[in-house]
């Protein structure tokens, strides 16, 4: 039953695999000071491949777009892009994409002895208590949040 629900969830969500096809090498301009300005040098910059920088395990890493505001207190906002690694073991306190009773949710994971809590970072939402009665799995662990400013 979980497989068919999971396949249906996958078709409804916007999940993108990490791939090296069509890589775009961007110039790596180094660090930028957030204090006093520094003079910019007119010299060539090395390139930066974001897949190499952000993706440790290409076969198990996916990009997902956040929908909703339940994690806004952790500065994860609607429209942000997540880099999610399915090969990382979830631990208490991690930011995880979870499947609960046929639905995906992004929450902070708190693991207890006989249950788990999925903690939102917005007071408008209540924690989700997950027990053995729920159809539950940690789909992946969030490694990076990419924001549009």
**33 a catalytic residue:** no
> Which contiguous run of DSSP H or E holds residue 9?
helix 2-12
Exactly one of 11, 60, 70, 72 is catalytic; name it.
Answer: 70
Select from 116, 130, 57 the least CA-distant residue to 88: 57
Q: Which of 107, 124, 137, 148 is catalytic?
A: 107
Task: Read off φ and ψ for residue 24, nearest 5 degrees.
Answer: -120, 115
Task: Tell me if residue 107 is catalytic.
Answer: yes
CA-based nearest residue to 6, from 101, 142, 117, 140: 101
Q: Is 81 exposed, middle or buried (0-12, 13-18, 19+ CB in 10 A)?
A: middle
Catalytic residues, by residue number, are 70, 107
């Amino acid at each position: 039953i979980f497989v068919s629900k999971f396949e249906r969830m996958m078709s409804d969500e916007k999940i993108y695999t990490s791939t090296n096809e069509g890589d775009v090498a961007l110039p790596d301009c180094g660090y930028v000071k957030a204090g006093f300005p520094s003079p910019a040098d007119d010299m060539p910059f090395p390139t930066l491949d974001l897949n190499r920088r952000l993706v440790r395990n290409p076969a198990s890493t996916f990009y997902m777009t956040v929908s909703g505001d339940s994690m806004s207190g952790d500065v994860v906002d609607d429209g942000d892009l997540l880099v999610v690694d399915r090969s990382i073991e979830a631990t208490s306190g991690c930011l995880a994409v979870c499947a609960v009773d046929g639905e995906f949710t992004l929450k902070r994971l708190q693991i207890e002895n006989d249950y788990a809590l999925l903690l939102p970072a917005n007071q408008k939402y209540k924690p989700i208590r997950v027990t053995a009665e729920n159809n539950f799995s940690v789909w992946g662990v969030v490694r990076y949040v990419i924001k549009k400013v």
